[in-house]
A and B are shown apart, each in its own frame.
Chain A
Amino acid sequence: MRRVAKLSAACIATAALAVTATACGSTSSDNDTDSSSTGGKGGIKIGLAYDVGGRGDRSFNDSAARGADKAKSEFGGSIKELTAKSSDTPADREQRLSDLAQAGYSPIIAVGYTYAPAVAKVAKQFPKTSFGLIDAVVDGKNVDSITFTEEQGSYLAGVAAALKTKKDHVGFIGGVDSPLIKKFEAGYVQGVHDTNKKIKVDTQYLSHGSDTSGFASPDKGEQAAQGMLDNGADVIYSAAGSSGNGAIEAVNGVKGAWAIGVDSDQYEIPGLAKYKNSILTSMVKNVDVGVYDFVKSVKDGKPLAGTNTYSLEKDGVSLSTSGGFLDDIKAKLDAAKKKIVDGSVKVKTTP
């Protein structure tokens, strides 16, 4: 009896597999006849593939979104947005990019270094589409690799932290201990120590290795910041995507403590308005500038390609001044910036 049930199950499975194998013929792009009409007429069709967190993370992804929004309002057209999940495989990221390419979106901007292998593959399949990749480098005629000198901006954040701390104790919270975030740490620590050798820097990463949850866990950010505050730190710099929101919240609970935001000017973000008086500054990574420049170049018919590095010199990274909390140390920050720009201070990219 049981054997018969098993046998029938096996038959159904085989049949299902056979259907899977033979019903092919057409690829999904052949079926997608109507999707190309979704874009606005005449305008530019921007495809955005976000990293984990997506639009609304008040940080890295939002910055990219701002650039695309600006381009859209100037050139007209439409934006299509897709967002990564933390369980993504390379195949999922490829699918996201090729879905956009098949639907006729160009340029397509991959936000985040995890897209690097996917961009390398998909850009070859769609040579006529322009791809932008943020935070990583991929060679290809139709790929614009947009990178930033995070370590330089973080160096300035470190200088600001060193000048503002009263307890000679500051902290750094990284989202994931990836090489990218280590650039932030390296610059920050160097900036602190170049200003005052005696200052103690606590460093903590929220998640490790392949676990990227540290970029999207405000609770972890809050706990880490609380731990540092309890330990005596009074300026905390977090480079941790939306987890940084939690850190800012924790810092807000301690009088006299400062938070340093990242990627976007977090003082100006409505969702963080409650805590804005604790936000000393933000190390702004002008992803929006990179995105906008790239979209504009595509619009003008001369798509950027190769590696475009947005450095401190080119204002690719900078410290925000909203709130005016930096006004008293502005001269010293400008001096530090000058030293980096003229090359007398070399900022390390690894801690």
Chain B
Amino acid sequence: MKKLTSRIDKERLLLGIAAPVLAVVAALVVTALVILATGKNPGAAFSDMTTYGFASDSQVYILNKATTYYLAGVAVAIGFRMNLFNIGVDGQYRLAAFVAAVLGGALAVPGWIAIPLVIIAAMVTGALWAAIAGVLKVTRGVSEVISTIMLNSIATAIIAYLLQPGKLARLEQGGTVVSTKPLPSSSYFFTIDAGPAGELWGFIVIAVLVGIAYWFVLGRTRFGFDLRTVGQSESAASASGVSVKKMIATSMVISGAVAGLIGMPTLLNDSHAFSNDFPTGIGFTGIAIALLGRNNPVGIALGALLWGFLERTTNHLEFQGYDKEILGVIQGVIVLCVVIAYEVVGRYGLKRQQQKVGAELAAQAAAATKKQEVA
């Protein structure tokens, strides 16, 4: 027992908690000021957010949203750990969801075969799309930031081209909604009935599994170690025998494969088809959430939940007469605060450490001179 407590460095623990607390408090203060500036009462807004956000139907909504966001956060975080900025998550998931929806609509096999096939198709599509950027980077040195942004636009164009009546889609009643052939009901992913609160998407289980796999592969395997090493110093990694190019290509592919999963909760649990109103922009939300969660599997989960909470409650704030732009302000402020808070706390911690080491060294030196005097 003593051994365990002695291993807890109180100061580091305190610093670890200080950063997120500082960030949230700062974000709250700034948001309150913004709401005050619009001539409304921030106290009422926050209390409305809490009561509404913790209602049971809100919680189901938040968990469903967080499922999608978590996958997006992990997809981005895999790249981040490698120092790769995969902005292409957005295009990867949309293309993946589209391909998966087309396949799912065409399959006439029992659900236990169809669902894994749909999911695998999505992961493969996402991986292949990301691989283009990975290959360009290792063979031609093209920055992945540029190539993935461009691939996003290309993905949008490809989907727009194929998602047309007569190609891979059909017109819905009324002639305004165009969508792929819906999945047969046997291919729906299971949901958990939460009574009047709605249905909790079963895909949350997959999201948790992805989180565990992310933690295990990065933290507990040689591959993960290599990946993090390359992320911290490419030259050091290659000096120790790690093939940097191979690692870049592989991590891009893995990031893309996870990105392929992002659209799956919506496709398999909610819309059951890819139509022209499929949600967009989740890849970019993923970047914010990965930053918020510091690339940590648990942190990303908290970030995703926070994001879902904010969206749910600020939607309702609009209903209560607040400006709908508040959501964007709060989200932006939180991400900024988190980044700044970690930097500030990190620097403070470093300074404290240096002082401590300095003090210890000084004490040692003093002790040594004293000893000499005695002798």
Q: Which of A86, A88, A179, A208 contacts B157 (CB 8 A)?
A: A208
- In the complex, A230 has a CB within 8 A of chain B: no
Contact A89–B175 (Cβ < 8 Å): no
**Chain B residues within an 8 Å CB radius of A95:** 61, 312, 315
List B35-76 residues whose CB lies under 8 Å from chain A. 51-52, 54-59, 61-65, 68
Q: Is A331 an interface residue (CB 8 A)?
A: no
Within the assembled complex, what's the spacing in Å between the Cα atoms of A126 and B59? 21
For A272, what are the chain B residues with a Cβ–Cβ distance below 8 Å? none
CB-CB contacts of A84-126 with B at 8 A, as 1s and 0s? 0111111110011001100100000000011011000000000
Residue from B9, B16, B64 whose CB has the most chain A CB atoms within 10 Å: B16
Cβ contact within 8 Å between A96 and B315 = yes
The answer, among B175, B197, B270, for a CB contact under 8 Å with A24, is: B197
Chain A count of residues within 8 A CB distance of the other chain: 63
Whether B305 contacts A20 by the Cβ 8 Å rule is yes
Give the complex CA separation of A103 and B319 in angstroms: 10
Give chain B residues whose Cβ lies under 8 Å from the Cβ of A30. Answer: 55
Among A48-85, those with CB < 8 Å from B are 80, 82-83, 85
B8 within 8 A of A: yes
Question: B182 to chain A: closest CB distance in Å?
Answer: 11
**Contact of B233 with A by CB under 8 A:** no
- B315/A16 in contact, CB under 8 A: no
From residue B266, how far is it (CB to closest CB) to chain A in Å? 7
Known: A87-B280, A179-B175, A349-B175. A210 touches B298 (CB 8 A): no
Residues of B within 8 A of A26 (CB): 55-56
- Bound form: Cα–Cα A177–B156 in Å: 12
Chain A residues in 8 Å Cβ range of B276: 176, 178-179, 209-210
Tell which of B101-109, B166-174, B250-258 binds the partner: B166-174
A153 CB to closest chain B CB, in angstroms? Answer: 15
Known: A4-B13, A9-B296, A87-B281. A28 touches B58 (CB 8 A): yes
Closest B residue to A309 using CB positions: B174
A31–B55 contact, CB under 8 A? yes
Taking a contact as CB atoms under 8 Å apart, the answer to whether B59 and A177 are in contact is no
Residue contact B316 to A99, C-beta cutoff 8 Å? yes
Is the CB of A335 closer than 8 A to any CB of chain B?
A: no
Bound CA span A9–B305, Å: 15
> CB-CB < 8 A to A210: which residues of B?
94, 156, 159-160, 276-278, 280
Whether B63 and A116, one on each chain, are in contact in the complex, defined by CB atoms closer than 8 angstroms, is no
Closest to B7 in A: A1
Chain B positions within 8 Å of A87 at CB level: 279-282, 285
A344 within 8 A of B: no
List residues of chain B with CB within 8 A of the CB of A31.
51-52, 55
For the complex, is B165 an interface residue (Cβ under 8 Å from A)? yes
B interface, CB within 8 angstroms of A? 7-9, 12-13, 16, 51-52, 54-59, 61-65, 68, 94, 156-157, 159-161, 163, 165, 171-178, 194, 196-197, 266, 270-271, 275-282, 285, 296, 298-299, 301-302, 305, 311-312, 315-316, 318-320, 324
8 closest residue pairs by CB, A with B: A209-B160, A137-B174, A208-B160, A24-B56, A28-B55, A113-B176, A89-B279, A180-B176
**Beyond A20-B63, A26-B55, A90-B279, 14 extra complex contacts between A and B, CB < 8 Å:** A5-B12, A20-B62, A20-B305, A28-B56, A95-B315, A116-B177, A178-B176, A179-B177, A209-B157, A209-B163, A210-B278, A211-B156, A307-B174, A350-B165
Can you give 28 A-B contacts (C-beta < 8 A)? A20-B59, A23-B59, A24-B56, A25-B56, A26-B55, A26-B56, A28-B316, A30-B55, A87-B282, A87-B285, A89-B65, A89-B270, A90-B277, A91-B64, A92-B311, A99-B319, A100-B319, A103-B319, A117-B275, A117-B277, A135-B176, A136-B176, A136-B177, A137-B173, A178-B176, A208-B159, A210-B156, A210-B160
